[in-house]
Chain A
């Protein structure tokens, strides 16, 4: 494990994105319970690690994160960057009162945002596709992860309603 191979544009991009994403996390008023906030921060962090170590490494190795195939500190910071995005997915799901009529548009909107972020990350050298992989396959990854996240959040809400816990804090 190393810090980074060379400190250049991908490291600067990751650090700048971290500052912006976590500043937004702290600035936006907290509307979700502490447990839900903690859960979905970890959810985003783990999802990025699961994909990177399953299809981004090992046998298929569809993409390289940052400077090398070795584990770098910048890789870890990149995974940490996904945590607030997962949180904001659930946060705005709640704030915008997403329901059966709007959930498909909501997921498609986040998928477009994800693809845009991946394109920028690719230009900044954070992600480099390889072994026949291209950004169009990421549509599948974003649709699956975001649909699962939305369904899981709905499941938690339903269980909490049944348990009589008042979920949102206003």
Chain B
């Protein structure tokens, strides 16, 4: 059950990202995706396998659902959020998109616990929400880094 649900979510978010109008270039999207992926993998490993604050069911299909969330859903959803938030300059718009993403990602993590894929020991959804706000800021910061590395010539008129 968990595998099917998380496969569907991964498919849905990848499809939305594929068809949406993107504000970032291919290089920028790829760079931010890779950075979020590496933070997501390391963070989940440290709180799960090293600190044992979360335990993950060691069965093939539930574990694959967890991997889909860690390696596809989290980074792709943050990319969608970044592309949408860049559509307008308003700070309010950016805050709304970040908070919406945090709610969806925290919900996806909570779903892992409801489906018995993950068990929280010294962890709770509040910490998830803080972590996803941090991850949103990381995405924004690294977008600025790769954007500044661009050698595009801008004509000021």
Residue in contact with A49 in the complex, picked from B31, B41, B58, B67, CB distance below 8 Å: B41
- Among residues of A, the one whose C-beta sits closest to the C-beta of B37 is A46
Stretch of A7-15, A54-62, A112-120, A123-131 at the chain-chain interface: A54-62
* Chain B 50-87 near chain A by CB (<8 Å), digits 1 or 0: 10000000101001000100010000000000000000
Interface size on A, residues (CB 8 A): 27
Residue in contact with B151 in the complex, picked from A33, A58, A70, CB distance below 8 Å: A33
Residue from the set A35, A57, A156, A169 with the largest chain B CB neighbour count within 10 Å: A35
Cα–Cα distance between A152 and B151 once the two chains are bound (Å): 20
Residue in contact with B146 in the complex, picked from A38, A43, A59, CB distance below 8 Å: A38
Cα–Cα distance between A38 and B27 once the two chains are bound (Å): 10
- Among residues of B, the one whose C-beta sits closest to the C-beta of A58 is B63
The distance from the CB of A82 to the nearest CB of chain B, in whole angstroms, is: 12
The distance from the CB of A67 to the nearest CB of chain B, in whole angstroms, is: 15
Contacting A at CB under 8 A, from B82-124, are: none
Q: Does A39 contact B (CB under 8 A)?
A: yes
Q: Are B146's CB and A35's CB within 8 A?
A: yes
* Chain B 30-52 near chain A by CB (<8 Å), digits 1 or 0: 11001101100110011001100
Chain B contacts of A70 at CB under 8 A? Answer: 50
Interface size class of B (residues with CB under 8 A): 20 to 34
Chain A contacts of B26 at CB under 8 A? Answer: 155-156, 159
Cα–Cα distance between A54 and B63 once the two chains are bound (Å): 10
Cα–Cα distance between A57 and B146 once the two chains are bound (Å): 31
Q: Are A42's CB and B34's CB within 8 A?
A: yes
Q: A42-B35, A50-B71, A59-B63 are contacts. A35–B149 as well, Cβ < 8 Å?
A: yes
- Among residues of A, the one whose C-beta sits closest to the C-beta of B67 is A54
Q: Does A87 contact B (CB under 8 A)?
A: no
Residue in contact with B150 in the complex, picked from A1, A35, A46, A49, CB distance below 8 Å: A35
What are 29 A-B contacts defined by CB distance under 8 Å? A1-B46, A34-B151, A35-B27, A35-B31, A35-B150, A36-B27, A38-B31, A38-B145, A38-B149, A39-B30, A39-B31, A39-B146, A42-B34, A43-B30, A45-B38, A46-B35, A49-B38, A53-B42, A54-B67, A57-B45, A58-B63, A59-B60, A59-B63, A71-B45, A71-B49, A152-B30, A155-B26, A159-B25, A169-B151
Given contacts A46-B34, A53-B42, 10 further A-B contacts (CB under 8 A): A35-B149, A45-B38, A50-B37, A53-B45, A58-B49, A58-B63, A58-B67, A59-B63, A156-B26, A156-B27
B interface vs A, CB < 8 Å? Answer: 25-28, 30-31, 34-35, 37-38, 41-42, 45-46, 49-50, 58, 60, 63, 67, 71, 145-146, 149-152
